[in-house]
Amino acid sequence: MITLVNAKEERLTAFSASYRALSNLNWKPKRRSVFIKPNVGATSKTANTDPEIVKGIIHYLKEFGIEDILVGEGSVETEYESTPYNFHYCGWDKFAEEEGVELVDLNRAERTEIPWHYGKIAVPKVLFDKSYINVAKMKTHMQTLVSLCIKNQKGLLDSETRKTFHRLGLHDPIARLAEAIKPELCVVDGIVAVEGNGPADMGDTRKMGIILAGSDMVETDRACCGVMGINPDRVEHIRLISAGAKDTYEPSNITERPFRLPEMEFKMFRVHMRPEDACTACMSSVGKLNKLARRSIKGIFYFINLGILRRLDIIVGNAKQLPEDHGKCIFYGNCASHTAEEYPEYLWIQGCPPNSKMALEMLLSEKSR
């Protein structure tokens, strides 16, 4: 069963809409303790789950006398990002104190190995100790087309395992993880969604004002795609796990137009990549490089000269070949090493991920090459 609450139409707050969604489902957890996994994967208040959505869930749970509630996430780790930093930046630490719940960094959580398609995988032990609620954000994604509940589970993994997912092709391991781990409840924050070049701040916000919820993760993701105007079978990880699935939820006509889909290039300068091979850590590092460049005259001149007036390609991930119409190339990150060896005339910046400040210094120092 899927429920959709239109907060905009019913003049509800995000908190009230979230509470209403669970009430509509008449949902009850199987255990007396609950683990909630929001999307707080980046340093962004628009690309992450709104804490007010989780607040509504917590107040619903407390009406059943449930006080043992844990909120956890495993964020991307770079020189400037971590789960504790993202929790603080987005106000989750203050929220946890007010609501009397515990925050946990899943990158440091106790783990247990379970069987899955590729052998064994280490997942947080808390998944088996508590009822698990998956709270995703409605958004497009440059690597997976959309990021919803199935994709949100990638944050259950430690940093190295997440990188391995990209080496395995990303889509299939995400689908196989969904076979191995199934939440009791899925909630999707569509109050302020992200379209275009999501999942983070390079995308554009879209005020949908909706909450979707359901007990089946695949069904919930497919319903969200319908609301977004995207055929769910175009999303590879959803298609892989949807064999024989029939969409039981018909979205009402609340979408004036389909969500704008992501491009394969960044806005400030052109980037060629194999999206399934470029992990979020390197993507995030390039995004930080973008921001750092805008803060210096030399950086702005460099990217205007090479990224706008001419063409600059930053090769992220394990690209098998360069685009035919490529310009000056920069190979970014350890996964690009094999391609970089074939083109020694271009700069290769090492790291997993590279330090964005050092990367910018290297770019500016080699501009005469």
The tens digit of pLDDT for each residue in 145-183 reads 999 999 999 999 999 999 899 889 899 999 999 999 999
Torsion 124-288-284-132 (CA) sign = positive
Answer yes or no: pTM beyond 0.85.
yes
pLDDT at 255 over 70: no
Cis peptide before 183 (omega within 30 of 0): no
Residue-wise pLDDT tens digits, 189-231:
999 999 998 888 778 999 999 999 999 999 999 999 999 999 9
Residue 230 makes CB contacts below 8 A (sequence gap 6+) with 145, 146, 258, 259, 261
pLDDT digits (tens, 9 = 90+) for 299-310: 999 888 887 888
**237 and 248 Cβ atoms separated by less than 8 Å:** no
Predicted local distance difference test score (pLDDT) of residue 317 = 85
Nearest to 105 by CA among 119, 90, 122, 85: 85
- Sign (positive/negative) of CA torsion 274, 277, 280, 284? negative
Give the pLDDT confidence score for residue 16 in this predicted structure.
98
Is 31 a residue whose pLDDT tops 70? Answer: yes
Domains belonging to the chain, first-starting first, are 2-240 (3.40.50.11440), 280-365 (no CATH)
Helix locations, 100-245, DSSP H: 126-129, 149-152, 159-167, 171-180, 217-228, 236-240
Closest CA to 347 of 329, 360, 323: 329
pLDDT tens for 37-64 read: 999 998 888 899 999 999 999 999 999 9
Q: What is the mean pLDDT of the chain?
A: 91
Asked if 210 and 7 count as a contact pair (C-beta separation under 8 A), the reply is: yes
Which has the higher per-residue pLDDT, 246 or 140?
A: 140
